[in-house]
Amino acid sequence: MKKTMKKTLMVVAIGTSILMGSVTLEAAERLMGFFVTSVGMGNGGDLGGLAGADGHCMKLAEAVGAGDREWRAYLSTEAADTRGEFARARIGSGPWYNAYGVLIAANLTELHLYNKTITLESALDESGRRIKGRGDKPNEHDILTGAPEDGTGYFPDEQDHTCNNWTSSGAGSAQVGHHDRHGGGNTSWNSAHASRGCSQDDLVKTGGAGKFYCFAAD
């Protein structure tokens, strides 16, 4: 009887160990690789360029213990008569999970082609908190991207879509997406409309707060 009990306990212990190992492995495989910044940089569309925006992503990630990854801001830039830097080319190849391990996209194609996973419930900040959307006060669903829906930097006009490549807090405009997929009939998470201007006040009046998406590129 005692031998049978010991064997049973051993089997249970081994089974529990395997299960815990599986859970630990699954958690490791679902490390946070995506978030919306909990705060903007406070100077409208002037983010200090891409380097400043990337630094902001890293700083916020470090504050929640995720600073060991290579964080990049999902932002495009523009350049006259040449190709700027594309948001989609800056963020690695996926997969990306939010702070709770929910899959945002498995790869770049899934992220940009008919994406339905970025929503008010899944597009969380680095601490796993919800970002205010349409219907909240204030509405902060405008997320800076500077990109068309395919995540590149090509627009069929000569307008500024990146607040002078994220260095202007005055003249210009920024293309923004809606993380909550609501507003004006446009449900794009990355390219809903242009902002009213590049000042912090302009971003707020349009329905934002100067926040942007951060992805782990490693």
Per residue of the chain (218 residues), what is the pLDDT tens digit?
Answer: 444 444 443 433 444 443 333 333 355 578 999 999 999 999 999 999 999 999 999 999 999 999 999 999 999 999 876 678 999 999 999 999 999 999 999 999 999 998 889 999 999 999 999 999 999 999 999 999 999 999 998 888 888 999 999 999 999 999 999 999 987 667 899 999 999 999 999 999 999 999 999 999 99
Q: Is residue 19 part of a domain?
A: no
Q: Is residue 17 part of a domain?
A: no
Q: Is residue 141 part of a domain?
A: yes
List, in order, residues 6 or more apart from 180 with CB less than 8 Å away: 119, 120, 123, 131, 133, 134, 141
Instruction: Give the tokens for residue 183.
Output: 């507003």
Instruction: Give the tokens for residue 69.
Output: 């990854």
List alpha helices for 75-149, DSSP H: 108-112
How deeply is 18 buried, as exposed, middle or buried, from its count of CB atoms within 10 A (0-12, 13-18, 19+)?
Answer: exposed
The pLDDT of residue 88 is 98
Q: Is residue 25 part of a domain?
A: no
Q: Is residue 7 part of a domain?
A: no
Q: Is residue 118 part of a domain?
A: yes
Q: Is residue 1 part of a domain?
A: no
pTM: 0.86
Give the structural domain span for 90. 32-216
What CA–CA distance (Å, rounded) separates 51 from 108?
22
Cβ atoms of 198 and 174 closer than 8 Å? yes
The pLDDT of residue 26 is 53
- Count of domains forming the chain: 1
Which CATH number belongs to the domain containing residue 109 in this structure? 3.10.100.10
Q: Across the strands, what pairs with 162?
A: 174
Q: Is residue 38 part of a domain?
A: yes
